[in-house]
Amino acid sequence: MLYLDNSATTKILPEVLETMMPYLKEEYGNPSSKFYSLAENAKKAVAKAREQVSTLLGCEPDEVVFTSGATESNNMIIKGVADYYNDNNITNKRLLTSKVEHPSIIETFNFLGKRGFEVSLIDVDQFARVDAQIVKEVTEQTQPLLTSIMWGNNEIGSLNPIAVLANLFEENGLFFHTDATQVIGKVPIDLKKLKGIRFLSMSGHKIGGPKGIGAAIIRKQTKEIYTRITPLLHGGGQENNYRSGTLAVHNIVGLGKAAELAAANLEQNVKRLNTLEKYLTDIFNTNLGNKIKFNSDTKEKIPGLVSLQFIGVNNELLLKKLADYAALSSGSACSSSKPSHVLSASGKSLEEVRQTIRVTLSPDVTESELDFFKQIT
Ligand code: PMP
C-alpha cells in the first residue's frame, strides 16, 4: 500500500516512537509533582521537548504551550483573544480571516460570529492565496482585534506571503495568528525575524510525531510580559496558566523529538520532496497530458503536495477504485453535498472540485513506487 496522504497525517518516525516508549512505561511521573525522581524526570523531559519545539520555530521555550493539536491551538488562541479583550474594558469585536482556512479556524470564527463578533473573510486568488495589499487595506480600515491567516494551505499547497504579512502586523501592532500546521518541517521558520506573528499553531502528527499533541505559540509582549488570553481549559494552571491539565509527557516528548528531526532534516527533506514531486508531475504530464489539470501552483508552495483534476473522472470513485493500492485524498473530508470551501473560494466549479485529488508525498517514498501512476494512467 502506497501511502500518499501525508497532509492528513504521517506515520510516526521510529526515533520518535523510541523516545516516547520510556514515558509510556517506567517514566510515568507527573511533571507537576515535586522532589522525587519520577516527577523530576518527567519535568526535565517536558523542558527538553519545549526547547526542541522552540528551536525549530525560533521562539523562546516559555512561548510554547502544549495542546492536544492544531485544532485546539486554533480554538484556544482565537476564542482566548476574543474573550480576553472583550472582558477587560477594551471592546473590539472585529475579527479577520481568509476564506480558505482549516475548519478549526472557520468554525471558531463562525461560533464567535454568532456571539456578536463581526467576522470578515478575505478573498483569495486561484491558488487560495491572500493578497497582502488587500489585508493591509482591510486592517487599516477596520483595525481588527485578531487576524488569522494560514501559512500554507492543506488542500492546494499554496504558501501565503507570510513575511510580508508579519511585517505589516509588526508595523500596525495588531494581533496576528497563523496556522502553520502544514508547513512545519517544509519551510524554514524563524519567529525571531517574524515579529508580527504573535500566535502560531502546529500539530505533532503532521511531522512524524504522535497524534493528540501540538503546540500554540504565544509570543510574549515584551521580554517579561506574557500576552494575555482567556484559557480554553481552566484548572491547575499548567502551561503558564494558558492550558490546564496534566501534561501528556509521552506525547510531548514525541513532539519534541519530531520537532528536532524536522529542523535537522529540513533541507534534505525539502530537496527530496521537490525531486519526488517533479517525478510525479512528469508522469502525469507525459501519460495524461490534456486529461489532467493542476490546481496547485508551481512556486511558493508546500513541497510534496500536488492537487490536480482528472478531467471527467469523479474523484471519490477514483479514490475508491485505487484504495487497495494507494492512499490518496480528495483534498479534504468533503462530502459530495458539501464541496471543498478552499477550491470553491479559489474559483473552481463544482465539477472541477469533484474531479480533484490531492497527493501528498513523504521523503521516504521511492520513484519506483510512484511508477504505480504509470499503470493507472
Ligand atoms: N490546520 C490545518 C491547516 C490542518 O491541515 C489541520 C489538520 N488537517 C489542522 C489545522 C488540525 O490539526 P489537528 O489534527 O492537530 O487538530
Specify the pLDDT at position 325: 94
Please write the tens of the pLDDT for every residue from 202-231. 999 999 999 999 999 999 998 889 999 999
181 lines ligand 1 (CB under 6 A): yes
Q: Which domains does the chain have, with CATH numbers?
A: 2-8+266-376 (3.90.1150.10), 14-260 (3.40.640.10)
* pTM of the predicted structure, to 2 decimals: 0.97
Contact, 231 vs 80, CB < 8 A?
A: yes
Q: 34 CA to middle of ligand 1, Å?
A: 34
pLDDT-derived band at 289 (thresholds 50, 70, 90) equals confident
- What is residue 338's predicted lDDT score, i.e. its pLDDT? 75
Q: Which amino acid is at 238?
A: Q
Cell readout for 165 is 504579512
Residue 303 clears pLDDT 90, i.e. is over it: yes
User: Please, are residues 165 and 200 in contact by the beta-carbon 8 Å criterion?
Assistant: no
C-alpha 213 to ligand 1 mean position (Å): 11
* pLDDT the model gives residue 154: 97
Number of other residues whose CB lies within 10 A of the CB of residue 145: 21
Mean residue pLDDT across the chain: 95
* DSSP class of 83: H
Q: What is the mean pLDDT of residues 112-138?
A: 97
104 phi and psi, to 5 degrees? Answer: -70, -15
Nearest residue (CA) to ligand 1, atom 12: 70
| Closest ligand 1 atom to 154 CA | 5
How many angstroms separate the alpha carbon of residue 288 from the centre of ligand 1?
32
Query: Which sign does the torsion angle of CA 252, 72, 302, 324 carry?
Result: positive
